Chain A
């Protein structure tokens, strides 16, 4: 298992995703001899997981069963331990496309946070790209570096524990793309520019507040960035339902033909159809995404 390469079978040391049911999952570090408690009973790693095919059904001790899934950055995003607020797949997808990431891209990122975006970036830039990620919180930087090792992507990433606004990314003139998710992105715009290739590249800043966007855009324009564009994306989930709608009874038709429908059927007359309903609540705001192009300098 690796976050950048599929494997067929579960092995000792893998991180697997146990799928318990609708939107209910948990990450499991597979270890010879270990056990994991679920609401359907115990999973014994040595017998239930190791050597099994990813995607297989595993019967737990209480007779219930779960599916064991191969980890992907998207599954990790909904399963990772939160140490910070994280970026979700909808924003990540747009960031990846708008930053023009692809295998071989050199990317700078700050802050690393819980590593949700980092994993998605690594998946996209492997096997020949590299991620330079900067996190000013020491424990967080150490923890995420450990996760990168466990997920077998450590060779693709350099984690630096420093303040990007003061010390930059630790590299100059190498990046194809820079991503900023920090409280004062305008203070790091100059560092972002310095980190990027002289031939140019793309930059993105994620900020929840419009005031941050305002200042960041001014800084980007002042530093000579072009094609500055701010957007917002929201995910709308449609829950598939079967609905039954009763039909009203207007009484017998005056024009006659009263005998047509039997009265019993009329009382229970209803129509059933498949449709979707929106969830009662949804994420109405995550953050504004500001993109820009660094021209050749």
Chain B
């Protein structure tokens, strides 16, 4: 029993945790911060009371925005169908069936009535409720529950929840990448612990976070990023343990050409950089030379201590000191940045990555062609685009240059179902499209070029009206 207490510790909500709020099918990612007002589904409340409770607990929001854990009760319906009609022939939509007015309901709310009680009132004051069929009554209660029950469930984040949340709330931020498409990507790219994966995304960090979750802190992920810095707000919301971030590297794509040409200078000033760069890399590939020296912090501290030299004028010295300290700080920061770049470059240099995942608003073609060079032969890659035409271009380009097999352009069709006794059918609304994927496997390009071999390349379009492209 004592064990159980410990065992549950990891399932308890702690201050500072990244959590997901849930009501119905609506999700929102927040961090647990003291006295922080959270707005969710037009309601505001504080999460302070959630601390110490178990994840997946449902809370009722009571006056003052306080959370109160809901007793786990299995009261299915408010009234167990005492009376019910057989069909809707006697129900007329005259807008008069509900005797309570908007104001009445507001008054009830102000009196502090709970959602359940308000629904009971609504049912009692509905002239048509008794005439509704059993099914319609159930639907009515469900609808009202959604409207009047002030409940919220606090969940531990996961890739499934994050993907569904982003798709539901802010699809524009994730290039309209649907959750089942993300699922395909993770599987098609064979993301698993211990591998070295390149990720290029502009999906708020959702794709990066999903890849990191699947790798469980083993191996390395290199985020190839465009522009000034990597965007990964979404990764924070996954609430990973700190050691997960040790496997994360970043490399700006503006340095890719220089890296490939061997002109990228990451060793500036510090001749020992090669030895130092791996200190931030927790899980090194076994094939790489393992310098593993932890000399770098020492070097830094030695540098800083050598700052103040000749003590002369007090005031001047103080000023100078501060200035120097600032400069030193900047230097250290620059040094850190340089080291990070060097570490990422070291990961890439072998051109032996195990997987490539691309999902961005950029044209996928140059991204794919540029980053494929970093993959080892016989490794999977997958590219997402909201637009099929962009991927057709990638496909054509890859066919021209060779070095890949198993190319496939796909999308998935997803339908949800309502499953109820005698009322099972597809849900009335479905997603119109979840984006497109191009997936394939790299192969060695040595020897002769694969073009013009026995394999049918794209036939000359002149002769044929409708030609197959094979590969």
Contact between chains at B214 and A19 (CB < 8 Å): no
Residue of B nearest to A230 (CB): B417
Contact between chains at B188 and A89 (CB < 8 Å): yes
Residue of A nearest to B441 (CB): A69
Contact for A96 among B183, B380, B456, CB less than 8 A: B183
**Docked complex: A190-240 residues within 8 A CB-CB of B:** 199-200, 210, 213-214, 217-218, 224, 228-240
Contact between chains at A233 and B180 (CB < 8 Å): yes
Residue of B nearest to A282 (CB): B413
Contact between chains at B388 and A276 (CB < 8 Å): yes
| B residues near A210, Cβ cutoff 8 Å | 424
Does B300 touch A at the CB level, under 8 Å?
A: no
| B residues near A276, Cβ cutoff 8 Å | 388, 392, 409
| A residues near B470, Cβ cutoff 8 Å | 21-22
Contact between chains at A74 and B190 (CB < 8 Å): yes
Contact between chains at A230 and B419 (CB < 8 Å): yes
| B residues near A15, Cβ cutoff 8 Å | none
| Interface flags, B433-463, vs A, CB<8A=1, else 0 | 0001000011110110010011110100110
A96 to B441, CA, bound (A): 21
**Docked complex: A130-181 residues within 8 A CB-CB of B:** none
**Docked complex: A269-297 residues within 8 A CB-CB of B:** 272, 274-277, 288, 290, 293, 295-296
Does A242 touch B at the CB level, under 8 Å?
A: yes
Contact between chains at B417 and A240 (CB < 8 Å): no
Contact (A93, B409) CB under 8 Å given A102-B214, A103-B218, A296-B54: no
Q: Closest Cβ of chain B: how far from A218's Cβ, in Å?
A: 7
Contact between chains at A243 and B412 (CB < 8 Å): no
Contact between chains at B183 and A56 (CB < 8 Å): no
**Docked complex: A15-38 residues within 8 A CB-CB of B:** 19, 21-22
A89 to B186, CA, bound (A): 11
Contact for A64 among B54, B454, B456, CB less than 8 A: B454
| B residues near A288, Cβ cutoff 8 Å | 417
Does B414 touch A at the CB level, under 8 Å?
A: yes
Contact between chains at B187 and A74 (CB < 8 Å): yes
| 15 pairs from A and B in contact (CB 8 Å cutoff) | A22-B455, A57-B446, A67-B444, A69-B378, A92-B187, A93-B180, A93-B184, A96-B186, A103-B217, A126-B193, A200-B56, A224-B74, A231-B414, A242-B458, A276-B409
Supplied contacts A93-B187, A234-B413, A277-B466, 4 more A-B pairs, CB within 8 Å? A4-B192, A94-B183, A233-B412, A236-B411
